[in-house]
Structure 1
Amino acid sequence: MTTVKFTATLVIQVTALTVEGPVEGDAMAGLDLSGRRALLTGGAQGLGQGMAAALAAAGAQVVIGDVQIEAGEAAADALGEGHGFVALDVTDEGSWENAVVATTQMLGGLDVLVNNAGIEITSLVVDVDPADVQRQLAVNVLGTTLGVKHGLRTMRPDGIAGTGGTIINVASVAATIAFPGIAVYSATKSAVDRLTRVAAMESGKLGYGVRVNCIYPGLVPTAMGAGLANDVAELGLFASPEEAVAGVVELTPAGRLGEVEDMADAVVFLASDAARFITGAGLPVDGGMGM
Protein backbone atom coordinates (compact mmCIF):
# COMPACT_ATOMS: atom_id res chain seq x y z
CA MET A 1 0.00 0.00 0.00
CA THR A 2 1.29 3.46 -0.90
CA THR A 3 0.85 6.30 1.54
CA VAL A 4 0.33 9.71 0.00
CA LYS A 5 0.81 12.81 2.10
CA PHE A 6 -0.91 16.04 1.24
CA THR A 7 0.39 19.38 2.42
CA ALA A 8 -1.91 22.38 2.44
CA THR A 9 -1.11 25.98 3.22
CA LEU A 10 -3.79 28.00 4.97
CA VAL A 11 -3.43 31.76 5.05
CA ILE A 12 -5.50 33.67 7.58
CA GLN A 13 -5.71 37.44 7.60
CA VAL A 14 -5.81 38.71 11.17
CA THR A 15 -7.12 42.11 12.13
CA ALA A 16 -5.81 43.45 15.39
CA LEU A 17 -8.45 44.19 17.98
CA THR A 18 -8.15 46.40 21.00
CA VAL A 19 -10.26 45.26 23.92
CA GLU A 20 -10.71 47.46 26.94
CA GLY A 21 -11.91 46.06 30.23
CA PRO A 22 -12.60 42.42 31.12
CA VAL A 23 -13.75 40.03 28.42
CA GLU A 24 -17.06 38.33 29.11
CA GLY A 25 -16.53 34.65 29.84
CA ASP A 26 -12.91 35.24 30.89
CA ALA A 27 -11.33 31.88 31.73
CA MET A 28 -10.00 33.22 35.04
CA ALA A 29 -13.55 33.35 36.33
CA GLY A 30 -14.82 30.43 34.28
CA LEU A 31 -15.23 27.99 37.16
CA ASP A 32 -17.51 30.27 39.15
CA LEU A 33 -20.97 28.67 38.99
CA SER A 34 -22.75 31.35 40.99
CA GLY A 35 -26.33 31.67 39.82
CA ARG A 36 -26.41 28.24 38.15
CA ARG A 37 -29.18 25.78 39.06
CA ALA A 38 -28.26 22.08 38.89
CA LEU A 39 -30.00 18.72 39.12
CA LEU A 40 -27.72 15.75 39.76
CA THR A 41 -28.87 12.13 39.73
CA GLY A 42 -27.46 9.44 41.99
CA GLY A 43 -26.13 12.03 44.41
CA ALA A 44 -26.92 10.19 47.64
CA GLN A 45 -23.48 8.58 47.82
CA GLY A 46 -20.16 7.97 46.08
CA LEU A 47 -19.16 9.98 43.04
CA GLY A 48 -22.53 11.71 42.84
CA GLN A 49 -22.31 13.01 46.37
CA GLY A 50 -18.84 14.38 45.67
CA MET A 51 -20.00 15.99 42.43
CA ALA A 52 -22.92 17.66 44.20
CA ALA A 53 -20.58 19.05 46.85
CA ALA A 54 -18.18 20.39 44.21
CA LEU A 55 -20.96 22.08 42.26
CA ALA A 56 -22.23 23.69 45.44
CA ALA A 57 -18.73 24.78 46.44
CA ALA A 58 -18.38 26.48 43.04
CA GLY A 59 -21.52 28.50 43.75
CA ALA A 60 -24.30 26.49 42.11
CA GLN A 61 -27.59 25.64 43.75
CA VAL A 62 -27.97 21.88 43.63
CA VAL A 63 -30.89 19.48 43.81
CA ILE A 64 -29.97 15.84 44.33
CA GLY A 65 -32.24 13.30 42.64
CA ASP A 66 -32.10 9.73 43.90
CA VAL A 67 -34.19 6.66 44.71
CA GLN A 68 -32.48 6.50 48.12
CA ILE A 69 -34.69 9.02 49.85
CA GLU A 70 -33.19 9.07 53.35
CA ALA A 71 -29.57 9.10 52.15
CA GLY A 72 -30.40 11.60 49.42
CA GLU A 73 -32.05 14.01 51.83
CA ALA A 74 -29.06 13.74 54.16
CA ALA A 75 -26.65 14.44 51.31
CA ALA A 76 -28.70 17.49 50.29
CA ASP A 77 -28.85 18.75 53.88
CA ALA A 78 -25.07 18.46 54.07
CA LEU A 79 -24.78 20.93 51.19
CA GLY A 80 -26.39 23.62 53.31
CA GLU A 81 -29.11 26.15 52.72
CA GLY A 82 -30.29 26.78 49.16
CA HIS A 83 -30.00 23.18 48.02
CA GLY A 84 -32.56 20.39 47.92
CA PHE A 85 -33.59 16.83 47.21
CA VAL A 86 -36.16 15.23 44.94
CA ALA A 87 -37.13 11.57 44.76
CA LEU A 88 -36.14 10.33 41.31
CA ASP A 89 -36.25 6.90 39.70
CA VAL A 90 -34.25 7.54 36.53
CA THR A 91 -35.86 4.59 34.75
CA ASP A 92 -39.35 6.08 35.07
CA GLU A 93 -40.64 8.76 32.68
CA GLY A 94 -43.17 10.16 35.13
CA SER A 95 -40.54 10.41 37.83
CA TRP A 96 -38.36 12.49 35.50
CA GLU A 97 -41.26 14.77 34.62
CA ASN A 98 -41.94 15.39 38.30
CA ALA A 99 -38.25 15.89 39.11
CA VAL A 100 -37.50 18.55 36.50
CA VAL A 101 -40.66 20.48 37.37
CA ALA A 102 -39.92 20.27 41.11
CA THR A 103 -36.29 21.29 40.59
CA THR A 104 -37.21 24.23 38.36
CA GLN A 105 -39.75 25.45 40.88
CA MET A 106 -37.39 24.93 43.81
CA LEU A 107 -34.43 26.73 42.24
CA GLY A 108 -36.21 29.11 39.90
CA GLY A 109 -34.76 27.46 36.80
CA LEU A 110 -32.42 24.75 35.56
CA ASP A 111 -29.04 25.29 33.90
CA VAL A 112 -27.08 22.11 34.64
CA LEU A 113 -28.12 18.45 34.58
CA VAL A 114 -25.66 15.73 35.60
CA ASN A 115 -26.74 12.20 34.68
CA ASN A 116 -24.62 10.30 37.19
CA ALA A 117 -26.91 7.49 38.38
CA GLY A 118 -25.63 4.09 37.31
CA ILE A 119 -25.13 0.50 38.41
CA GLU A 120 -22.51 -2.16 37.69
CA ILE A 121 -23.09 -5.91 37.96
CA THR A 122 -19.96 -7.99 37.47
CA SER A 123 -20.13 -11.22 35.45
CA LEU A 124 -18.20 -13.27 32.96
CA VAL A 125 -19.85 -13.15 29.54
CA VAL A 126 -20.48 -16.91 29.66
CA ASP A 127 -22.44 -16.47 32.91
CA VAL A 128 -24.45 -13.35 32.12
CA ASP A 129 -27.90 -13.27 33.70
CA PRO A 130 -30.50 -11.65 31.41
CA ALA A 131 -32.13 -9.97 34.41
CA ASP A 132 -28.82 -8.30 35.31
CA VAL A 133 -28.43 -7.13 31.72
CA GLN A 134 -31.88 -5.58 31.80
CA ARG A 135 -31.17 -3.80 35.11
CA GLN A 136 -27.97 -2.22 33.79
CA LEU A 137 -29.63 -1.24 30.53
CA ALA A 138 -32.54 0.28 32.43
CA VAL A 139 -30.47 2.45 34.77
CA ASN A 140 -27.41 3.24 32.68
CA VAL A 141 -28.91 3.59 29.21
CA LEU A 142 -32.63 4.26 29.62
CA GLY A 143 -32.06 6.37 32.73
CA THR A 144 -29.45 8.54 31.04
CA THR A 145 -31.54 8.81 27.87
CA LEU A 146 -34.58 10.00 29.79
CA GLY A 147 -32.36 12.47 31.63
CA VAL A 148 -31.06 13.91 28.38
CA LYS A 149 -34.59 14.01 26.98
CA HIS A 150 -36.08 15.93 29.88
CA GLY A 151 -33.00 18.08 30.35
CA LEU A 152 -33.22 19.27 26.75
CA ARG A 153 -36.98 19.77 26.94
CA THR A 154 -36.64 21.80 30.12
CA MET A 155 -33.70 24.00 29.07
CA ARG A 156 -34.48 24.66 25.40
CA PRO A 157 -36.13 28.00 24.50
CA ASP A 158 -39.71 26.71 24.80
CA GLY A 159 -39.01 24.74 28.00
CA ILE A 160 -40.10 25.61 31.52
CA ALA A 161 -36.57 26.87 32.28
CA GLY A 162 -35.91 28.09 28.75
CA THR A 163 -32.48 29.65 29.10
CA GLY A 164 -30.23 26.90 27.72
CA GLY A 165 -27.55 25.20 29.76
CA THR A 166 -25.45 22.08 29.89
CA ILE A 167 -25.96 18.34 30.32
CA ILE A 168 -23.12 16.18 31.62
CA ASN A 169 -23.41 12.42 31.36
CA VAL A 170 -21.22 10.08 33.37
CA ALA A 171 -19.84 7.30 31.19
CA SER A 172 -16.75 5.32 32.29
CA VAL A 173 -13.24 4.35 31.28
CA ALA A 174 -14.94 0.98 30.79
CA ALA A 175 -16.30 2.43 27.53
CA THR A 176 -12.76 2.72 26.18
CA ILE A 177 -10.92 -0.39 27.46
CA ALA A 178 -11.49 -4.15 27.60
CA PHE A 179 -11.48 -4.88 31.34
CA PRO A 180 -12.63 -8.42 32.23
CA GLY A 181 -15.84 -9.06 34.12
CA ILE A 182 -17.75 -5.93 33.09
CA ALA A 183 -18.80 -6.58 29.49
CA VAL A 184 -22.39 -5.44 29.90
CA TYR A 185 -21.48 -2.42 32.02
CA SER A 186 -18.89 -1.46 29.41
CA ALA A 187 -21.51 -1.77 26.68
CA THR A 188 -23.93 0.49 28.55
CA LYS A 189 -21.29 3.14 29.12
CA SER A 190 -20.30 2.99 25.44
CA ALA A 191 -23.96 3.68 24.72
CA VAL A 192 -23.83 6.73 27.01
CA ASP A 193 -20.91 8.04 24.95
CA ARG A 194 -22.78 7.70 21.65
CA LEU A 195 -25.98 9.13 23.12
CA THR A 196 -24.03 12.16 24.32
CA ARG A 197 -22.64 12.95 20.89
CA VAL A 198 -25.92 12.57 19.01
CA ALA A 199 -27.78 14.65 21.59
CA ALA A 200 -25.16 17.40 21.29
CA MET A 201 -25.59 17.44 17.52
CA GLU A 202 -29.38 17.59 17.75
CA SER A 203 -29.23 20.34 20.36
CA GLY A 204 -26.98 22.42 18.14
CA LYS A 205 -28.93 21.80 14.94
CA LEU A 206 -32.24 22.67 16.56
CA GLY A 207 -30.98 25.73 18.45
CA TYR A 208 -31.65 24.43 21.94
CA GLY A 209 -28.68 26.27 23.44
CA VAL A 210 -27.73 23.23 25.52
CA ARG A 211 -24.23 21.75 25.50
CA VAL A 212 -24.06 17.97 26.01
CA ASN A 213 -20.85 16.27 27.11
CA CYS A 214 -19.74 13.24 29.09
CA ILE A 215 -16.85 12.21 31.30
CA TYR A 216 -15.09 8.83 31.50
CA PRO A 217 -14.16 8.29 35.16
CA GLY A 218 -11.39 5.85 35.99
CA LEU A 219 -11.64 3.42 38.90
CA VAL A 220 -12.35 5.24 42.17
CA PRO A 221 -12.35 3.45 45.56
CA THR A 222 -16.01 4.16 46.29
CA ALA A 223 -18.40 1.39 47.31
CA MET A 224 -18.91 0.55 43.63
CA GLY A 225 -15.17 0.52 42.90
CA ALA A 226 -14.41 -1.64 45.93
CA GLY A 227 -17.23 -3.97 44.98
CA LEU A 228 -15.79 -4.42 41.50
CA ALA A 229 -12.37 -5.34 42.90
CA ASN A 230 -13.95 -7.96 45.15
CA ASP A 231 -16.14 -9.31 42.36
CA VAL A 232 -13.39 -9.82 39.77
CA ALA A 233 -11.31 -11.59 42.41
CA GLU A 234 -14.23 -13.90 43.23
CA LEU A 235 -14.57 -14.69 39.52
CA GLY A 236 -10.93 -15.83 39.49
CA LEU A 237 -9.79 -13.03 37.19
CA PHE A 238 -7.35 -11.81 39.85
CA ALA A 239 -5.85 -13.59 42.84
CA SER A 240 -7.27 -11.05 45.29
CA PRO A 241 -9.05 -7.68 45.40
CA GLU A 242 -5.68 -6.09 46.15
CA GLU A 243 -4.20 -7.61 43.00
CA ALA A 244 -7.17 -6.35 41.02
CA VAL A 245 -6.53 -2.82 42.25
CA ALA A 246 -2.82 -3.19 41.56
CA GLY A 247 -3.68 -4.30 38.03
CA VAL A 248 -5.72 -1.16 37.46
CA VAL A 249 -2.94 1.05 38.81
CA GLU A 250 -0.44 -0.71 36.55
CA LEU A 251 -2.61 0.14 33.55
CA THR A 252 -2.80 3.78 34.62
CA PRO A 253 0.06 6.07 33.55
CA ALA A 254 -0.71 8.44 36.42
CA GLY A 255 0.17 5.58 38.77
CA ARG A 256 -2.82 5.75 41.11
CA LEU A 257 -6.54 5.23 41.39
CA GLY A 258 -8.85 8.12 40.75
CA GLU A 259 -10.33 10.19 43.56
CA VAL A 260 -13.85 11.52 43.90
CA GLU A 261 -12.47 15.07 43.66
CA ASP A 262 -10.88 14.29 40.28
CA MET A 263 -14.28 13.42 38.80
CA ALA A 264 -16.12 16.20 40.60
CA ASP A 265 -13.71 18.86 39.33
CA ALA A 266 -14.23 17.65 35.76
CA VAL A 267 -18.00 18.05 36.15
CA VAL A 268 -17.55 21.58 37.50
CA PHE A 269 -15.33 22.42 34.54
CA LEU A 270 -17.84 21.14 31.97
CA ALA A 271 -20.65 23.01 33.75
CA SER A 272 -18.69 26.27 33.69
CA ASP A 273 -18.09 29.01 31.14
CA ALA A 274 -14.54 27.72 30.78
CA ALA A 275 -16.12 24.92 28.70
CA ARG A 276 -18.47 27.23 26.79
CA PHE A 277 -17.24 26.03 23.36
CA ILE A 278 -17.16 22.33 24.26
CA THR A 279 -20.05 20.08 23.27
CA GLY A 280 -20.36 16.52 22.02
CA ALA A 281 -17.12 15.63 23.78
CA GLY A 282 -16.02 12.80 26.06
CA LEU A 283 -13.52 13.87 28.69
CA PRO A 284 -11.30 11.07 30.07
CA VAL A 285 -10.68 11.48 33.79
CA ASP A 286 -8.81 8.22 34.16
CA GLY A 287 -5.14 9.04 34.67
CA GLY A 288 -4.44 7.91 31.11
CA MET A 289 -5.81 4.39 31.57
CA GLY A 290 -8.01 4.54 28.49
CA MET A 291 -5.59 6.16 26.08
Structure 2
Amino acid sequence: MMNILTNQSTEKVYLKNMELSLLASGDGTEVIHHKLYKGSRWAMAPEENWTALEHVTILSGNLIYNSQEGKIVLQPGDSLSACPVTELSIFYAETEVQFLYVTSQPQFHVYSNSLKEMYDLAVSVEEKDGYTAEHCNRIKELSMELGAAMNLSADELYILNLAAFLHDIGKVKVPIQILNKPDKLTADEFDIMKKHTTWGKETLVDTNLVDLINAGEIIEQHHERYDGKGYPNQLKEAEIRIEAAIISVVDAFDAMTTDRVYRKAMSVSAALAELEVNKGTMFHPVVLEKFLTIMN
Protein backbone atom coordinates (compact mmCIF):
# COMPACT_ATOMS: atom_id res chain seq x y z
CA MET A 1 0.00 0.00 0.00
CA MET A 2 1.32 3.44 -0.90
CA ASN A 3 1.88 5.96 1.92
CA ILE A 4 0.55 9.43 1.13
CA LEU A 5 2.84 12.08 2.68
CA THR A 6 1.48 15.48 3.72
CA ASN A 7 3.25 18.43 5.32
CA GLN A 8 2.02 17.20 8.70
CA SER A 9 3.85 13.87 8.35
CA THR A 10 7.29 15.24 7.56
CA GLU A 11 9.91 16.01 10.18
CA LYS A 12 11.82 19.27 10.03
CA VAL A 13 15.08 20.54 11.45
CA TYR A 14 16.14 24.17 11.19
CA LEU A 15 19.89 24.63 10.98
CA LYS A 16 22.27 27.40 10.08
CA ASN A 17 20.86 29.04 6.93
CA MET A 18 18.92 25.97 5.89
CA GLU A 19 15.88 23.81 6.53
CA LEU A 20 15.85 20.01 6.33
CA SER A 21 12.66 17.95 5.94
CA LEU A 22 12.66 14.17 6.17
CA LEU A 23 10.19 13.18 3.42
CA ALA A 24 10.53 9.41 3.56
CA SER A 25 12.67 6.72 5.17
CA GLY A 26 12.83 2.96 5.23
CA ASP A 27 15.27 0.07 5.06
CA GLY A 28 18.10 2.47 5.86
CA THR A 29 17.33 4.88 3.01
CA GLU A 30 16.29 8.50 3.60
CA VAL A 31 14.86 11.12 1.25
CA ILE A 32 15.55 14.58 2.68
CA HIS A 33 14.35 17.88 1.23
CA HIS A 34 16.92 20.65 1.67
CA LYS A 35 16.22 24.36 1.47
CA LEU A 36 19.40 26.43 1.47
CA TYR A 37 19.08 30.17 1.98
CA LYS A 38 20.95 32.43 -0.41
CA GLY A 39 24.63 32.65 0.49
CA SER A 40 24.73 29.46 2.57
CA ARG A 41 27.00 26.47 2.08
CA TRP A 42 26.45 22.73 2.21
CA ALA A 43 28.93 19.88 1.94
CA MET A 44 29.28 16.18 1.21
CA ALA A 45 32.32 14.73 2.90
CA PRO A 46 33.92 11.28 3.11
CA GLU A 47 33.69 9.54 6.46
CA GLU A 48 35.35 6.44 7.84
CA ASN A 49 33.15 3.34 7.57
CA TRP A 50 30.61 5.30 5.48
CA THR A 51 29.63 3.29 2.39
CA ALA A 52 26.37 5.00 1.43
CA LEU A 53 25.09 6.01 -1.96
CA GLU A 54 24.43 9.77 -1.87
CA HIS A 55 22.37 11.46 -4.57
CA VAL A 56 21.35 15.08 -5.09
CA THR A 57 18.72 16.41 -7.51
CA ILE A 58 18.22 20.17 -7.82
CA LEU A 59 14.59 21.33 -7.64
CA SER A 60 15.00 25.11 -7.82
CA GLY A 61 17.68 27.80 -7.74
CA ASN A 62 21.38 27.76 -8.63
CA LEU A 63 23.82 25.69 -6.59
CA ILE A 64 27.53 26.29 -7.22
CA TYR A 65 29.73 23.19 -7.07
CA ASN A 66 33.47 23.79 -6.92
CA SER A 67 34.76 20.53 -8.39
CA GLN A 68 38.29 19.51 -9.32
CA GLU A 69 37.39 20.41 -12.91
CA GLY A 70 36.36 23.90 -11.85
CA LYS A 71 33.19 25.79 -11.01
CA ILE A 72 29.94 24.06 -12.02
CA VAL A 73 26.50 25.68 -11.76
CA LEU A 74 23.85 23.10 -10.87
CA GLN A 75 20.34 24.12 -11.97
CA PRO A 76 16.86 22.56 -11.70
CA GLY A 77 16.91 19.03 -13.10
CA ASP A 78 20.67 18.57 -12.62
CA SER A 79 21.85 15.79 -10.34
CA LEU A 80 24.99 14.16 -9.02
CA SER A 81 25.75 10.95 -7.14
CA ALA A 82 28.58 9.20 -5.34
CA CYS A 83 28.88 5.75 -3.74
CA PRO A 84 30.60 6.41 -1.44
CA VAL A 85 31.75 10.03 -1.33
CA THR A 86 35.55 9.96 -1.63
CA GLU A 87 36.38 13.67 -1.58
CA LEU A 88 35.09 16.77 0.17
CA SER A 89 32.53 18.56 -2.03
CA ILE A 90 31.40 22.05 -1.00
CA PHE A 91 28.32 23.68 -2.52
CA TYR A 92 27.33 27.35 -2.43
CA ALA A 93 23.76 28.64 -2.81
CA GLU A 94 23.94 31.43 -5.36
CA THR A 95 20.18 31.90 -4.85
CA GLU A 96 17.76 30.21 -2.49
CA VAL A 97 18.08 26.56 -3.48
CA GLN A 98 15.87 23.54 -2.93
CA PHE A 99 17.05 20.02 -3.65
CA LEU A 100 16.34 16.40 -2.82
CA TYR A 101 19.08 14.49 -1.05
CA VAL A 102 18.87 10.69 -0.99
CA THR A 103 21.19 8.58 1.15
CA SER A 104 21.23 4.81 1.58
CA GLN A 105 22.45 5.16 5.19
CA PRO A 106 20.28 7.13 7.64
CA GLN A 107 21.63 10.33 9.12
CA PHE A 108 18.70 12.75 9.58
CA HIS A 109 17.89 11.66 13.11
CA VAL A 110 21.55 11.48 14.12
CA TYR A 111 21.65 15.27 14.15
CA SER A 112 18.09 16.11 15.14
CA ASN A 113 17.96 13.59 17.99
CA SER A 114 21.40 14.47 19.33
CA LEU A 115 20.57 18.18 19.37
CA LYS A 116 17.25 17.58 21.12
CA GLU A 117 18.93 15.34 23.70
CA MET A 118 21.53 18.02 24.42
CA TYR A 119 18.86 20.73 24.75
CA ASP A 120 16.73 18.61 27.10
CA LEU A 121 19.80 17.78 29.17
CA ALA A 122 20.80 21.46 29.39
CA VAL A 123 17.36 22.47 30.68
CA SER A 124 17.31 19.67 33.28
CA VAL A 125 20.76 20.73 34.52
CA GLU A 126 19.69 24.37 34.96
CA GLU A 127 16.58 23.30 36.89
CA LYS A 128 18.75 21.24 39.26
CA ASP A 129 21.01 24.27 39.67
CA GLY A 130 18.10 26.36 40.95
CA TYR A 131 17.22 28.15 37.71
CA THR A 132 14.04 27.84 35.68
CA ALA A 133 13.90 26.26 32.25
CA GLU A 134 13.89 29.78 30.79
CA HIS A 135 17.47 30.44 31.91
CA CYS A 136 18.92 28.71 28.83
CA ASN A 137 16.67 30.68 26.51
CA ARG A 138 17.50 33.98 28.20
CA ILE A 139 21.22 33.34 27.86
CA LYS A 140 20.79 32.33 24.22
CA GLU A 141 18.59 35.26 23.18
CA LEU A 142 20.66 37.94 24.89
CA SER A 143 23.91 36.39 23.63
CA MET A 144 22.55 36.42 20.09
CA GLU A 145 21.54 40.07 20.41
CA LEU A 146 24.97 40.97 21.74
CA GLY A 147 26.68 38.84 19.07
CA ALA A 148 24.78 40.63 16.32
CA ALA A 149 25.75 43.98 17.83
CA MET A 150 29.38 42.79 17.77
CA ASN A 151 29.00 42.07 14.02
CA LEU A 152 29.64 38.34 14.29
CA SER A 153 29.24 36.41 11.03
CA ALA A 154 26.29 34.11 10.39
CA ASP A 155 28.46 31.06 11.08
CA GLU A 156 29.72 32.54 14.36
CA LEU A 157 26.19 33.45 15.44
CA TYR A 158 24.98 29.92 14.75
CA ILE A 159 27.67 28.34 16.93
CA LEU A 160 27.10 31.04 19.58
CA ASN A 161 23.41 30.10 19.55
CA LEU A 162 24.29 26.48 20.40
CA ALA A 163 26.99 27.30 22.94
CA ALA A 164 24.89 29.87 24.80
CA PHE A 165 21.98 27.48 25.27
CA LEU A 166 24.27 24.59 26.28
CA HIS A 167 26.83 26.61 28.26
CA ASP A 168 26.33 24.79 31.59
CA ILE A 169 25.63 21.30 30.25
CA GLY A 170 28.78 19.99 31.96
CA LYS A 171 27.10 20.51 35.34
CA VAL A 172 25.33 17.21 34.74
CA LYS A 173 28.47 15.62 36.24
CA VAL A 174 28.58 17.90 39.30
CA PRO A 175 27.17 16.19 42.44
CA ILE A 176 23.74 17.58 43.32
CA GLN A 177 24.82 18.37 46.91
CA ILE A 178 27.44 20.75 45.50
CA LEU A 179 25.14 22.17 42.85
CA ASN A 180 22.41 23.01 45.39
CA LYS A 181 24.55 23.87 48.40
CA PRO A 182 23.04 27.00 50.07
CA ASP A 183 26.36 28.00 51.65
CA LYS A 184 29.71 28.99 50.17
CA LEU A 185 31.52 26.10 48.52
CA THR A 186 34.71 24.78 50.09
CA ALA A 187 37.90 24.94 48.05
CA ASP A 188 37.59 21.25 47.15
CA GLU A 189 33.93 21.65 46.18
CA PHE A 190 34.74 24.66 44.01
CA ASP A 191 37.49 22.69 42.28
CA ILE A 192 34.86 20.11 41.32
CA MET A 193 32.42 22.82 40.19
CA LYS A 194 35.08 24.38 37.97
CA LYS A 195 35.39 21.14 36.02
CA HIS A 196 31.91 21.67 34.50
CA THR A 197 33.36 23.73 31.65
CA THR A 198 35.66 20.94 30.48
CA TRP A 199 32.97 18.32 31.13
CA GLY A 200 30.64 20.36 28.93
CA LYS A 201 33.14 20.38 26.09
CA GLU A 202 33.68 16.63 26.44
CA THR A 203 29.92 15.99 26.37
CA LEU A 204 29.57 17.79 23.05
CA VAL A 205 32.72 16.24 21.57
CA ASP A 206 31.21 12.81 22.28
CA THR A 207 28.32 13.58 19.88
CA ASN A 208 30.78 13.54 16.94
CA LEU A 209 28.78 16.39 15.38
CA VAL A 210 30.98 19.18 14.02
CA ASP A 211 28.75 22.09 15.08
CA LEU A 212 28.39 20.78 18.64
CA ILE A 213 32.13 20.13 18.86
CA ASN A 214 32.76 23.76 17.86
CA ALA A 215 30.22 24.92 20.46
CA GLY A 216 32.06 22.82 23.05
CA GLU A 217 35.25 24.82 22.53
CA ILE A 218 33.34 27.98 23.43
CA ILE A 219 31.65 26.35 26.42
CA GLU A 220 35.01 25.35 27.89
CA GLN A 221 36.09 29.02 27.84
CA HIS A 222 33.00 30.79 29.21
CA HIS A 223 34.50 31.12 32.71
CA GLU A 224 37.86 32.40 31.53
CA ARG A 225 38.62 35.99 32.57
CA TYR A 226 40.03 38.81 30.48
CA ASP A 227 42.87 39.23 33.02
CA GLY A 228 43.85 35.55 32.85
CA LYS A 229 42.55 34.61 36.31
CA GLY A 230 39.66 32.45 35.15
CA TYR A 231 39.34 28.72 34.56
CA PRO A 232 40.06 26.06 33.38
CA ASN A 233 43.11 27.20 31.36
CA GLN A 234 43.78 30.75 32.59
CA LEU A 235 43.41 32.19 29.10
CA LYS A 236 43.49 35.97 28.77
CA GLU A 237 42.51 38.76 26.38
CA ALA A 238 42.60 37.64 22.72
CA GLU A 239 43.25 34.01 23.73
CA ILE A 240 39.57 33.83 24.71
CA ARG A 241 37.11 33.37 21.86
CA ILE A 242 34.80 36.35 21.46
CA GLU A 243 31.75 34.06 21.67
CA ALA A 244 32.91 32.86 25.10
CA ALA A 245 33.47 36.45 26.22
CA ILE A 246 29.89 37.25 25.18
CA ILE A 247 28.42 34.31 27.13
CA SER A 248 30.54 35.26 30.15
CA VAL A 249 28.96 38.72 30.35
CA VAL A 250 25.41 37.57 29.67
CA ASP A 251 25.62 34.63 32.07
CA ALA A 252 26.97 36.83 34.87
CA PHE A 253 24.18 39.36 34.35
CA ASP A 254 21.47 36.70 34.35
CA ALA A 255 22.93 35.01 37.44
CA MET A 256 22.99 38.28 39.37
CA THR A 257 19.41 39.19 38.43
CA THR A 258 17.97 35.73 39.27
CA ASP A 259 17.00 34.40 42.71
CA ARG A 260 19.37 31.63 43.83
CA VAL A 261 19.30 29.24 46.78
CA TYR A 262 21.98 31.28 48.56
CA ARG A 263 20.84 34.86 47.78
CA LYS A 264 18.10 37.06 46.37
CA ALA A 265 18.31 38.59 42.91
CA MET A 266 20.00 41.96 42.42
CA SER A 267 18.26 44.79 40.62
CA VAL A 268 19.13 45.31 36.97
CA SER A 269 20.84 48.62 37.70
CA ALA A 270 22.93 47.09 40.51
CA ALA A 271 23.93 44.16 38.28
CA LEU A 272 25.00 46.48 35.46
CA ALA A 273 27.04 48.54 37.91
CA GLU A 274 28.75 45.37 39.16
CA LEU A 275 29.60 44.34 35.61
CA GLU A 276 31.11 47.74 34.88
CA VAL A 277 33.33 47.53 37.97
CA ASN A 278 34.83 44.35 36.49
CA LYS A 279 35.43 45.72 32.99
CA GLY A 280 38.89 44.82 31.75
CA THR A 281 39.52 42.36 34.58
CA MET A 282 36.81 39.73 34.60
CA PHE A 283 35.09 40.84 31.37
CA HIS A 284 36.24 41.77 27.87
CA PRO A 285 36.01 45.60 27.84
CA VAL A 286 34.64 45.94 24.29
CA VAL A 287 32.06 43.20 24.80
CA LEU A 288 30.96 44.71 28.10
CA GLU A 289 30.67 48.21 26.66
CA LYS A 290 28.46 46.90 23.87
CA PHE A 291 26.33 44.99 26.39
CA LEU A 292 25.86 48.09 28.53
CA THR A 293 24.83 50.02 25.44
CA ILE A 294 22.20 47.39 24.62
CA MET A 295 20.87 47.27 28.17
CA ASN A 296 20.67 51.03 28.44
Greater RCO, 1 or 2 (C-alpha within 8 Å, sep 6+): 1
More strand by share: 2
Larger Rg: 2
Q: TM-score, normalised by structure 1?
A: 0.27
Q: TM-score, normalised by structure 2?
A: 0.26
